[in-house]
Structure 1
């Protein structure tokens, strides 16, 4: 029997979020310190819902790394696979919060620890002890992490694990935003499930830099021109079994080869901070899938988790528990 339910791989960081909600970035006078990074957020959300999770990420030999690992230990997430990588620094993120639609984001990831994950770090993972592995697109942005992710996919497939990709497009983490699509397309056939926003799915097939527009340094919310229906079909042709398109307050859509689109309604709420909503979605979706729920209910669970997190100040630190999600869903019509 697997020892763990879910392994997440990739980015982790200290997140410094504006304490002055609504203030322009240049007028921020204080920040609150949380933890974040797509894989870390997913692991935390899934753990709080009731899954047994572990994370492979890198930290530096620094106090920020201690901060990140302390949080994970407190949450009960398995941390024995997290290497301290000498000569690197733990990652950091700074965010402004100007609801409802302005969230400027600054990354500090030069020579960061998690992008220095190696094949040896992957080899230290007992993949046979897991049911599923969740990857994020950013982990493919640079070597040695990029090669290590492809290798981890190979090993996961050999062990018959479910493989989930959170597309996680962050344009400024790539030498060329078009390289994101080239790299992700090479990996798509190895994933069982893919989750992304319309913009992220379009980014997977970006061919012209002019298709991409980022306003107010909103790295996590780009505007991308393209044909979304064509991009969806291309992903399905790659061999992906299930594609989930996240549509914010409008919920999400399920696509599978040869089947009609299934629309799953969302939970409209008042938005405080959109960062982390997609990761919360993946946590809820993973919980459902790994507990044998059907796709519709699993996506509905993801929608609920995402809706809850956008009403809260941060990401991992504010992920809801199973009891909170159940109460939220039942008060809004149930699954």
Structure 2
């Protein structure tokens, strides 16, 4: 049976500070979970009842076992999660200092396991039959993973839907120029592109949302999504442009909201919804997660999110 979603990229054990507006230099306690943007997207889609899997690698250590156990508990297919020959499972520390701009420390020793993917880690039939293939741009930065992803994108042949998240973490790249070149190379193989204004600037050299969307569409992207922070989310196709306004929430942690958006987008695409409907649904998923402390553990089910949407509507 074909996968509804196949994501590829980084994975980690995430430690979330329980104290809001407290820096790493102060005493803190942490909650332990898993993360990495493509990991969270796979979890989010699974929570909506879809058959999702991630292609990645963990280290030969107890944290790798923890990651596998958590993925399975969330309903994510772990068939393509391999154990790397070297390197420890990455650890990420997150501090809500402040909540709208959390501080992150990546502990990724040289040759992190998820940078060691090789082309045989996915078989061609699985790759081609997946209804949605999701690539994190950060995965294009290091190791054998980068060229493996480009190989997979070429094999997939811009099949619907092939999605790139323009996810950008400066510490992963030697330069912004390298990040831009990799992103533009990947865009030529994708049908959907998602990024915030800063990520569009890195990938395209454009900060105006409408111009960024136009540029993506001119590159052959069929759906361009630009997250505009407090101004909402812009969704554009060749025929339509739609802006979804942000929902009024009490922000707890800005991390993972985009990943919840991604999982909800997948649900909307698989459900055959129109632009306005899946845009509003995905926007609500992002808002819901931003009101929670955790990422993967807090991804909503369909029942939870529909209740949240109903409550948001009644509060307006």
Q: Which moved more, 1:24-33 or 1:11-20?
A: 24-33
| Distance change (3 Å), C-alpha of 1:105 and 1:25 | same
Question: 2:308 maps to what in 1?
Answer: 328
Q: Is the 8 A contact 2:164 2:186 kept in 1?
A: no
Task: Tell me the CA shift for residue 226 of structure 1.
Answer: 4.3
Q: Which residue of 2 aligns with 1:153?
A: 153
The 1-side partners of 2:53 and 2:125 are apart by 10
CA deviation after TM superposition for structure 1 residue 96, in Å: 1.1
Question: Partner residue of 2:9?
Answer: 10
CA contact (8 A) 2:213 2:225 kept: no
User: Does the 8 A contact of 1:289 with 1:295 survive in 2?
Assistant: no
Superposition map of 1:172-251 within 5 A: 172-206=171-205, 226-251=207-232
Contact kept in structure 1, 2:11 and 2:39, CA below 8 Å: yes
Q: CA deviation at 1:291?
A: 1.3
- The residue that corresponds to 2:268 in the other structure is 288
Contact 1:249/1:268 (<8 A) preserved: no
Contact 1:249 1:269 in 2 (8 A): no
Task: After superposition, give the CA deviation of every residue in 1:154-184 in whole Å (9 maximum; x if it has no partner).
Answer: 22227x3411111111111001122111111
Show structure 2 runs of 5+ residues with no match: none
The range that moved more, 124-133 or 71-80, is: 124-133
Deviation string 1:206-256 (CA, Å, 9 cap, x unpaired) is 4xxxxxxxxxxxxxxxxxx84444433222211111101122344311112
Give the SS at the match of 2:313. Answer: coil
Instruction: Quote the Cα distance in structure 2 between the aligned partners of 1:253 and 1:276.
Output: 19
2 CA distance for matches of 1:70 and 1:50? 18
- Give the RMSD, CA atoms, in angstroms: 1.8
SS in 2 for 1:270: coil
Alpha-carbon offset, residue 28 of structure 1: 3.1
How far the C-alpha of 1:199 sits from its partner, in A, is: 1.2
| SS across alignment from 2:25 | helix
Matched, 1:136 2:136: yes
- CA drift of 1:189 comes to 1.7
| Alignment partner, residue 277 of structure 1 | 257
CA drift at 1:120: 1.7
TM-aligned CA distance change 1:260 to 1:290, over 3 Å: closer
Structure 2: how far apart are the matches of 1:116 and 1:293?
Answer: 37
Gapped regions of structure 1 (runs ≥ 5) = 207-224
Aligned pairs for 1:156-167 within 5 A? 156-157=156-157, 160-167=159-166
> 2:122 & 2:174 partners in 1: Cα distance?
25
Q: Please state how far the C-alpha of 1:152 moved relative to its aligned partner.
A: 1.5
Structure 2 CA distance for aligned equivalents of residues 32 and 100 of structure 1: 16
Q: Partner of 1:213 in structure 2?
A: none
Q: TM-score, normalised by structure 2?
A: 0.93
Cα distance in structure 1, aligned partners of 2:175 and 2:86 = 26
Aligned to 1:168: 167
Separation in 2, partners of 1:27, 1:125 = 50
Aligned-pair CA distance for 1:147: 0.4
- Checking the alignment, whether the CA contact within 8 Å between 2:6 and 2:55 is kept in structure 1 is yes
Pairing 1:303–2:302 present: no
Asked whether the 8 Å contact 1:138–1:168 carries over to 2, the reply is yes
Q: How many aligned residue pairs are there?
A: 313
